[in-house]
Amino acid sequence: MGLEGKRKTQGLSKPTVQGITQRTMWEFFDFLRSKSTSPGGDDVKELKLKLERLEAADAARKEAEKTMGERQDRHLKTVSLIVAVPGGIIAITGILMVIFGRLAQTDSRETTREMRADINNAISQMHSNFDRLAGDALKQPKLEILHQGAPLDGRKFETDSDSPIYLQLSFKNTGQKKTEELRVRVFTSERVTVFGWEEVETSEDSLRFRYSPPSYQKMLDSIPTGDTAIWSGTIDVWAPELKTNITCRLRAFYGVQPADVYFIISPRPSNPKP
């Protein structure tokens, strides 16, 4: 194989633009060497044709290099964009997380402050309610038992066996709470007669007899604080065998510890004969 064929084979074995350009140059040099002694008209045409092929190959090489450079630039921009976008997203996400974190902290502080205020208000209200309830629970009615407007406790009634005594009662609530319905009992150390009332013997040594009104007889409804209730009836006590002092206790039930007052029925002294 000659030099020209060998170089053509070498040129064809390189499928790049640079290989094609080198093959054309070698063909042009061989053509000049073979035609250097006697150039003719056909040779000039062939020479021009070789030159045109050489220029076209060189232009194709430059265009290929330009296209490849532009493609590399696009690839680099694409890679940069691919790398930059996640970074930007991460940066934006970080900024948003910081903002949301600040907002969450602010909301949490405000919520905590509001909850603390609500708890304090609830505790204060609870203490207020407790004080009010405790105050109401500590408030009690207090009953004062009167006879004809004066305290009955300690009174002494003088009478004889023919004359009963008439208790005209009134009840004053000097406490801080209204009473419940009023009920009355009378206890005596000796047997007497309380007109219309029922008699029952008790186990007490000093006050052996108890007298209660009949169930249908109603005494008084509740008495408000500071009010005085007057009982329209009377308690008529008669001692037909009155020979000595009789100790009496009047007990009033009104919702709490009953109120007790004591009085004495005493024989009236007989007038001395002139």
pLDDT digits (tens, 9 = 90+) for 139-184: 889 999 999 999 999 999 999 888 899 999 999 999 999 999 999 9
Rounded CA separation 50/148 (Å): 156
For 182-198, the pLDDT digits (tens) are 999 999 999 999 999 99
pLDDT score of 59 more than 50: yes
For domain 143-267, the CATH class is mainly beta
pLDDT score of 72 more than 50: yes
How many C-beta neighbours within 10 Å does residue 108 have?
10
* pLDDT score recorded for residue 87: 63
For 193-221, the pLDDT digits (tens) are 999 999 999 998 899 999 999 988 878 88
Confidence of residue 52 (pLDDT cuts 50, 70, 90): confident
Residue percentage of the chain with pLDDT more than 70? 68
Rounded CA separation 167/145 (Å): 11
* pLDDT score recorded for residue 76: 66
* pLDDT score recorded for residue 229: 93
Write out the two tokens for 188. 């005596």
Domain range summary for the chain, segments of one domain joined by +? 1-138, 143-267
Confidence of residue 273 (pLDDT cuts 50, 70, 90): low
* pLDDT score recorded for residue 174: 93
pLDDT score of 84 more than 50: yes
Compute and round to an integer the Cα radius of gyration of the chain.
Answer: 66
How many C-beta neighbours within 10 Å does residue 24 have?
19
* pLDDT score recorded for residue 225: 92
Rounded CA separation 146/154 (Å): 11
* Buried b / exposed e along 27-45 (16+ C-beta atoms within 10 A): beeebeeeeeeeeeeeeee
For 87-144, the pLDDT digits (tens) are 667 777 777 777 766 666 666 677 777 777 877 777 777 777 766 666 666 788 999 9
Confidence of residue 271 (pLDDT cuts 50, 70, 90): low
* pLDDT score recorded for residue 15: 45
Rounded CA separation 242/191 (Å): 9
Question: What residue type is 220 in one-letter code?
Answer: L
Residue percentage of the chain with pLDDT more than 90? 36
